[in-house]
A and B are shown apart, each in its own frame.
Chain A
């Protein structure tokens, strides 16, 4: 079990992300039903059918919440049972297990209780809302607030408000998109749109109010913001939140025009709302990885100073020649171990044990190796963005740009983990236990998939509309994954400085993915603009990668 420590840490972040997504969708669905759809449905054509659709979506979200919470709790319980040698009964009394059980029961109650009959009467509706509230209270017991030394009550209230705001706004958007898809009538659209705007504003207000309070108690000051992993992650959340506000404002303007009886693009409303779901869920995964780092106020040593950031990011020429593989720290340690073993006539030990939680040694050559990889990747991505722009402007040959992704995938597969096959002595399969290796391979797979799909789409080999969606979705997911990407480097400051460059990369990736999505799905001027935005994001990614330094 101890061997799987880092896999466990990463897996728990991902599972936690799913818990936040499904919880927000469940609570958001309940609130959307009780505050919007049910009161309005008598005035909507086919209101009853719409209500049933949203009920079904919310029920599925509740099942999702049940499963992801069950998985999270089971993982934590089993890790605790095996590492601290405690009985199942004992671990189940720990506060996180109690809170987890309550969340699971609440999800079950919503999944089973929500239906046509319970929606028809006031008492069951109120009861369902109360179950949702109970779930929210249990959820706050698994946030930082519960374990803080001071101000527990205030911070718990604030965390509750934050999750409520996320639910009523982002969590309810899937319901909104569902309704928009099936509602053709303009009066109905105006009614739903106007009320949803008002609900989102309440949500935004809750998020702002709680966000500012949490900033004061968890981030503290400006240096806590730029100098710690927690602060940088908060920064990423804020950036995406601003993006969401922009999209929300766009939608607000559309509904206002509709309300005044003017002509407005309902399709834009729908497409923007789709993108809001994507960015919103990315924020949820960023929030999940926030729970795995200590709040900035607590990290008083090992902070990065502005000077260090400036020094690290001072312009430097990209590194286009690689150091020799034999000069890397692990190679050298292995050579030494081999020599000792040969002398003593023993079988040589392996210099690294993947997944043991022990951080591999690094020397200057390792840093050069990694920088070389990032810089070449930057050249690839810059070229891809540039060719895509040319293609957009009309150059026919440039449509083959996705093939560059395949070349890049091959390059990364061989080079990103030098201690692993084919360059290193570590076997292909055993290395999966190392999170960083697993993540890199996952990225390579992503790159191959999106290169292959996009090339087939561009050259007309794949004609389905869905196939075209694969590329933007994978780019957006890749960006989101990068927010949870971890580099195993022993020095907290170095890790932070690397994170500082990875976060803009992730944000640009998320923006590129959703801009491409808009280009495909939004007809007219909006889509055309988006068609220039995403290659620009790619080129920006390329430049950041070329700028990347580890020392």
Chain B
């Protein structure tokens, strides 16, 4: 039964990720939104249009089984508008749910969906 429902949820989740109508917006990322990357150790990077309080932002990795794992954010004063992290990932559909605190105090959140493919 759950298949249809899951499709519905996936569509809804996607809808949220497009809705970037708040202050800090994603200008670039690794992986790209809806992009795909080979399995293994992955460097994750989310780049914003404004300076971000890295210590008070959050990245959560949503695995294909919907389990949520917080990712450690690497402090990086040289790149004040980035949230950097890394993870070892197996093939499947993942989402990074991010919440960024811009230095001016505005909180924004969004989803970054991507696919991990089998290593070549």
Q: Are B15 and A358 in contact (CB under 8 A)?
A: yes
- Check B101–A80 contact: CB distance below 8 A: yes
Flag the segment in B34-42, B46-54, B83-91, B112-120 that touches A: B46-54
Given A86-B56, A149-B81, A294-B24, decide whether A358 and B16 contact each other with a Cβ distance below 8 A.
Answer: yes
Q: How many A-B contacts are there with CB distance less than 8 Å?
A: 121
Q: Which residue of B lies closest to A495 (CB)?
A: B21
- B16, A298: Cβ atoms closer than 8 Å: no
Interface residue? A410 (CB, 8 A): no
Q: Is the CB of A149 within 8 A of B22?
A: no
Q: Would you list which residues of chain A between 465 and 492 have a CB under 8 Å from chain B?
A: 486, 490-492
Q: A115 in the interface, Cβ–Cβ < 8 Å?
A: no
Q: Which among B1, B12, B56, B57 is the interface contact of A90 at CB below 8 angstroms?
A: B56
Size of interface on B: residues with Cβ below 8 Å to A: 38
Interface residue from A94, A148, A349 paired with B50 (Cβ < 8 Å): A148
Contacting pair A84 B50 (CB below 8 A): no
Partner of B51, one of A86, A149, A361: A149
Residue of A with least CB distance to B11: A361
* Chain B residues, Cβ within 8 Å of A97: 105
- B1 adjacent to A142 (CB under 8 Å): no
Q: Are B56 and A80 in contact (CB under 8 A)?
A: yes
Q: Which residues of A contact B55 (CB under 8 A)?
A: 90
Are A299 and B25 within 8 A (Cβ)? yes
**B1 contacts A293, C-beta separation under 8 Å:** no
* Contact between chains at A147 and B103 (CB < 8 Å): yes
Q: A149-B81, A492-B18 are in contact. Are A333 and B106 (CB under 8 A)?
A: no
* B105→A94 contact, CB < 8 A: yes
Indicate if B4 sits at the interface (CB-CB under 8 A): yes
Bound form: Cα–Cα A444–B11 in Å: 32
Among A52-60, A336-344, A516-524, A528-536, the stretch that binds chain B is: A336-344
Chain A residues with CB under 8 Å of B102's CB are 147
Contact B105 A293 (CB under 8 A): no
**Pairs A–B under 8 Å by Cβ, sample size 29:** A79-B107, A80-B101, A83-B58, A84-B58, A84-B99, A94-B53, A94-B101, A95-B105, A96-B101, A142-B104, A142-B105, A145-B104, A146-B51, A146-B104, A147-B103, A147-B104, A148-B50, A148-B51, A149-B51, A149-B80, A149-B81, A292-B23, A294-B23, A299-B25, A333-B8, A349-B5, A359-B16, A491-B18, A495-B21
Report which A residues bind B (CB closer than 8 A): 5, 9, 76, 79-80, 83-86, 90-91, 94-97, 99-100, 141-149, 229, 291-295, 298-299, 302, 333, 336-337, 340-341, 343-344, 346, 349, 357-359, 361, 486, 490-492, 495
Which residues in B have some Cβ–Cβ distance to A below 8 Å? 1, 4-5, 8, 11-13, 15-16, 18-25, 27, 49-53, 55-58, 80-81, 99, 101-107, 109
